[in-house]
Structure 1
């Protein structure tokens, strides 16, 4: 009997939650981590099996916590097959000259330093487990390609995720380590509910934007995670067909 594969997912709700549910239904062990213990508990109860679910609250920007996260995962499940770097934050949409250094650094810390720390610990395990290798999925964004107005911290962090993802693919080749950047546009979650009321556009107008069922993101994560180690999808964009992304809107 083949041992179930194990995924570490950062972020307690929305896309992280849907991905955890989808992976658990597909037979994966899931390790859930985020700062909000209550939200993690809610997600674990929605997964297929509590026995195959490990909840470890913590901060992905805390180096010692990240090390413990991966160590405890290996103790519990024996190996790590997938890291989904999903946790992220944003800053208020305000003019650049009003943005504090603290707000900018917080976004960079969570959206870039956290994924770096988690990827580093994942790679250590991937290189030394048997069979060797593993897969990383980094949550990018349409903002990794095209910014929204007044989004400097978030857009800068997501462009940096593109560089991190490319380096992970290049440096992981010899060890069967692959990386996918998944760019998601307007998946319907509590974070996108505001889009129905209108979102600031580059011309100054506020316009409603369409969304799509977030379960499709979970299905995409399962598909990417289930590919054989000799196959990589470097970039995967999933968005509502009417997103103001291609062309001029």
Structure 2
């Protein structure tokens, strides 16, 4: 059995179904200090309750804030570091969707709204995560391990639309391609500084936001996935936590598809 994970985890969008599943998986893998960022305080309360039910000894710090606001994000990270002293696993998960319309009919306000959260917000978080990780010493090497300790690990949750395209979904697709570009560049710039950066690209995820009407609309595309169904949040969380952990200590700059649409 692999040793329990050490350190502190930080998750954006921690009140949503995927963010909550990621937090729970970190707890299952032994992480005892977890911070979660979300716009909605009530959603963070739900995550806190879920974590308490999973592992009563986990300390959860809920922080509300707007990812697209530079000063709020600086304040968020100051609170997390003041509480826990460091950030070892940073998961940039929060994002919003976009209207399904062609580019010539798209309003500039919609463009600004989607890119402000999905690109600028993710970038602001990654910048603060990097600044903190560069300041901190690596975690102690676990007994008997040959893995080189790192200063930290960052995982960005992109999307299959970060590596593919979908009709009438240009704004979201653009944003998810953009964060993969950031991951690939930063993974090169910080690899020798002891920081790994990777991306996970989920397809369709079965969450409460997928109403019966949406499920029916997406059915032709879901049927084309290799497994013929949507992923459960826990299945995506497994991949995220694996890439964040020292079990992926020689992996950086990767873009992991979970799960790819059929080409047929």
Give yes or no for contact 1:133–1:229 (8 Å, CA) kept in 2. Answer: no
Give 1:202's aligned residue. none
Give 1:203's aligned residue. none
Give 1:164's aligned residue. 182
- Which whole-Å CA distance do the structure 2 matches of 1:182 and 1:238 have between them? 7
Q: CA offsets per residue over residues 42-86 of structure 1, 9 Å max, x none?
A: 011101347510000111111111111111111111111011110
Give yes or no for contact 1:140–1:158 (8 Å, CA) kept in 2. Answer: yes
- Which whole-Å CA distance do the structure 2 matches of 1:102 and 1:216 have between them? 34
Higher mean Cα deviation, 152-161 or 45-54? 45-54
Give 1:9's aligned residue. 11
TM-score, length basis structure 1: 0.88
* Alpha-carbon spacing, 1:246–1:3, altered in 2? closer, same or farther (3 Å): closer
TM-score, length basis structure 2: 0.83
Give yes or no for contact 2:11–2:92 (8 Å, CA) kept in 1. Answer: yes
1:215 paired residue among 234, 239, 263: 234
Give yes or no for contact 2:119–2:175 (8 Å, CA) kept in 1. Answer: yes
Give 2:251's aligned residue. 232
* Alpha-carbon spacing, 1:147–1:122, altered in 2? closer, same or farther (3 Å): same
* Alpha-carbon spacing, 1:45–1:229, altered in 2? closer, same or farther (3 Å): same
Give 1:144's aligned residue. 162
Give 1:197's aligned residue. 216
State the shift of 1:124 in Å.
Answer: 0.7
Give yes or no for contact 1:33–1:58 (8 Å, CA) kept in 2. Answer: yes
Structure 2, unaligned stretches of length 5 or more?
Answer: 139-149, 223-228
1:67 aligns with 2:85: no
Name the Cα RMSD after superposition: 2.0
Structure 1, unaligned stretches of length 5 or more?
Answer: 200-205
- Which whole-Å CA distance do the structure 2 matches of 1:224 and 1:84 have between them? 10
State the shift of 1:10 in Å.
Answer: 0.5
Give yes or no for contact 1:176–1:230 (8 Å, CA) kept in 2. Answer: no
State the number of aligned residues: 237
